[in-house]
Amino acid sequence: MEWNLRRMESELRHINPDLLQPSKSFKKPSSGTITINVGGFLYTAHRTTLIKQQGSFLEELANGKKPVQHTDSMGNPFIDRDGPAFRHVLNYLRTGELQLPDDFREVGLLRREADFYRLSELVEAVLDWESQRAAQREAAFLEMTDSHERSQGLKVYCSDSTFLDKVKGRLVQISKSRLDGFPEEFVVSSNVIQFRHFIKSEPGSRLVLKEDSTFLCTLDCLKLETVMLALKAGFKLVTSLDSSKGSVVAAEALHFVK
């Protein structure tokens, strides 16, 4: 048996000496997947994913522009960088969006990794994510004021514009709306929305109506949905309510902090 193995090895070396040698280079495939070893973690991605950002480290690697300096025992290109962080790099290339868990604590590391791979768009996305989290850590103030005058209507102010974006999205969902987005005529600024247009359909019911009738909802419903979103987002009501006026939606002014 041992003699047969030696004879087979001898014949293979005679046919092609490279068959028994580990791969020393990374050949660019015309299509298909590519496996990369990043800090001991194996990642497999489609070649089109890696080449999305021209001029990046990964684009040059996948297109064969950059020679492979190191390979692992299986012949895969080896990159001596943080393995777990590369997961977020690869997901960004796949989706075009930076999706990090709320408790992510290695943003500085991820920013450095993105800079190493020369992914400028990912660097910007990480910086934006940091700015949003910093804003969320600051105290936020929410105010809702309800005036029965048509010129004023219902006004919602929030120092955290990201929360107001959630309010806009929710109000479009619960309204009898034929719109893809929130009506711009109700937007005062990134921190303020104001519903000035009302019609009374019946006693005790006030309706918010867009000028072209593509947005229709009761005012009480808008107020209640905003209050529920505020409580779910961690805001605390600081306004003393008058029990004689009924439910929270009957209050003329509500103030929340977070």
State the pLDDT at residue 14.
52
pLDDT at 193: 94
Q: What pLDDT does residue 23 have? A: 40
What CA–CA distance (Å, rounded) separates 34 from 226? Answer: 48
> What is the pLDDT at residue 48?
93
φ, ψ at 200 (rounded to 5°): -100, 115
For β-strands 216-218 and 236-237, DSSP reports them as unpaired
Q: Are 61 and 27 in contact (CB under 8 A)?
A: no
The pLDDT value recorded for residue 249 is: 75
Q: What are phi and psi of 112, to 5 degrees?
A: -70, -35
Per-residue pLDDT, 100: 92
Check residue 6 and give its pLDDT: 56
pTM above 0.85, yes or no: no
Question: 37 forms bridges with which residues in the sheet?
Answer: 42, 78
pLDDT at 19: 38
* pLDDT < 70 regions, the chain: 1-31, 136, 148-151, 199-204, 242-246
Cβ atoms of 69 and 63 within 8 Å: the answer is no
Q: Which residue has the tokens 């000496």?
A: 17
